[in-house]
Every structure is written in structure tokens, then in C-alpha cells.
A = this chain, B = another copy of it.
Amino acid sequence: MVSLKDIAQKCGVSVATVSKALNDQSDIGQETKIKIKEVAKEMGYLPNLSARALKTNRTYNLGVLFSDESRSGLTHDYFVRVLESFKVTAEKRGYDITFLNCNNERKNRMSFLEHSKYRGFDGVVIACIDFYTKEVEELIQGDIPVVTIDHVFNNRVAIMSDNARGIEELLSYVYQQGHRKIAFIHGAASAVTQIRVSSFYRAAEKLGLEIPEEYVKEGIYRDMQAAGQRTKELLSLKNPPTCIFYPDDYSCFGGVNVIKEMGLGIPQDVSVVGFDGIPIARQIEPQLTTFSQDTFSLGKQAAEQLIRLIEKPKTTSIQQIIVPGSLFEGKSVEKIG
């Protein structure tokens, strides 16, 4: 590998001069700078990141904490798209992406914070994970720049969809389609869940809608079985709902399967509504009516905020960034009445 030294030799200048020239520092003459850059390119010079990091404490590498307790975050259609967008944005800015080690099985495993320090991440993005653990807490309290997606810590920048708005729009849409008996299977307790549930009740109230207690049930995010089970329960009520909200598109599929098994048609007999707007939900029968989260913008914002936090910590305020989404009108909600 060619190093600064080689370039310096070839140009007849010192290593310091080469370093400064390549970094566009001010105290280098125009001609020298141009010459050095030419030679560097010609020799195929690539900076040695390790050496640079050793000196500057900057790795241009961002850590990604992106797994949930059960399975990999990678198989999570929604988050994977956020990650993709995050990655593209970061790469444009000269950063690479490395996963934080979530592998619990290893003995002597490092904590998230330890791993981040060991790897020298300039910053970390946290998403799609159980936020209520000691390790995440330690990372949040640590001194590495962090942004979170879909969760708010009071001392950290957070990015999230406008969940409240999403639920509200879905509900008023369904209401406009004539539905009055609307059930909500929501995900397990979390900040996002809380926002959605409270928004559901608020919006219902605004519409003058009565929501019987047994219409609101706790399911599990991305769990088709749980969703199926709750669906059965809802449909066997003496006064069953005509429309069911699900925690997300994926679990909505679980509901769909059960409804079909019961010999009922969607949307003629039961209407269903998802959340997230994952691509496959548009492609498979029945096309889901859902709230599309703007995964592109979420990922992009997360990367931009994190990089800003790294590069201009002074000018960056701790804030929540709410990203708008949009209702997608599929074919899973019947117009009635």
C-alpha cells in the first residue's frame, strides 16, 4: 500500500506537506498542492483509516443497533427500509455502517456501549429493539452521539413517524366509509404503542364514536398468530366489529388468514386496516389499506441528524423529529351504510 511517505518522496516534499495538501489545509502553495494531489491519484493512494483514526479519534463508521429480541431486525420489512435509506444517506456523507453485536450467546460479550467504543463508532443509531434494557440505557447515558428511531429518550435526538396523525387519518377514513364498530388490536406496550392507542381514543371521541372496551386488545407487533387469535376473539363477540385495526401490515396478514378461514370475505364481511405500508401489502390480495410510513425520510433524517450531532455538536439541539406519512387506500375496507 502506498503511504504519505511514498508520495512525499516522489514529490520531494515532507510527509507533513503531503498530509496537509491532501486535506486542503491553507498553508500549502497552490502548485505544490496540485502536484501532490496528482501524484497521489496516480499512485493510487488511499488513506489508512486506522492510522487516521488513531490520531483523530474519528472512524467515519456508524454503529447500527437494529435487532429485536426474537429475530433479526433484518427480517423486519419496515425497519429494513429505514436502514437502507439511512445507509445510503450516510454513505453519501462518507460514513460506513457497521452492525452492533447483538449476539447474546458469546461469553465475554461486550455491552453495546463497550462494543461501540471498541469499534470506535462516531455515532450510533438505535431502532427496532427493546428499548427498556440495561444495555440500551447504558448506551443512551454514554458519551457517544446517538439517535433513536421510534422511541424517545429525553436526552437524545429521536426520529419517528407521525403515529398519532396516522391513526387519526385511518380512523376518520374508515368512519367516512361508514364504519362505526371499529376495533383496534395494538402492539405490545411501548412509546409508539401508547401514542397510537391514545390517538385512537382521542380521534374516536372527536368523531363521537363509542369504542367498547372489548374492542381494544393487545397483540404483538409482527406476530401473525397473535393477530389471528385476537381476530377470532373479536369476531366471536356478540356484537363484533365491522373493521379491525392491526399493529402492522404483517400481523394484519394473520388476521386476514383467520377471517378467510372462518369463511368470511374481505372486505365484504370484515374490513381490515394495517400500519406501516410495507411493499408486499400492496401486492398481495387483499391489498391493504394502511398508513404508509415514510421509511425513506425516516432513514435519511436519522442519518443526517446523527452526522450533524457528530460534526457540529454545538449547533445541534436535542429534539424529536416527526416525519409525516400518508394513508394508502387499498381494497381492504368496505364502503357501507
Contacts and interface: CB of A to CB of B under 8 A. Distances in A.
Given A74-B84, A75-B84, A96 B101 contact: yes
Interface string A71-83: 0101101001101
B99 A96 contact: yes
Contact of A54 (B48, B119, B257): B48
A91 B83 contact: no
Interface residues of A, number: 48
Q: How many copies of this chain sit in the oligomeric assembly?
A: 2
A239 interface: no
A1 B144 CA distance: 13
Interface string A295-315: 000000000000000000000
A262 interface: no
Contact of A257 (B53, B114, B260, B285): B285
A122 B22 CA distance: 26
B88 A92 contact: no
Given A96-B98, A101-B91, A46 B114 contact: yes
Contacts of A120: 48-50
Nearest to A254: B283
23 contacts: A1-B117, A46-B110, A46-B114, A46-B117, A46-B118, A49-B50, A49-B119, A49-B120, A50-B53, A50-B54, A54-B54, A72-B84, A74-B83, A74-B87, A75-B84, A88-B103, A91-B102, A92-B103, A96-B119, A97-B98, A97-B99, A224-B283, A253-B283
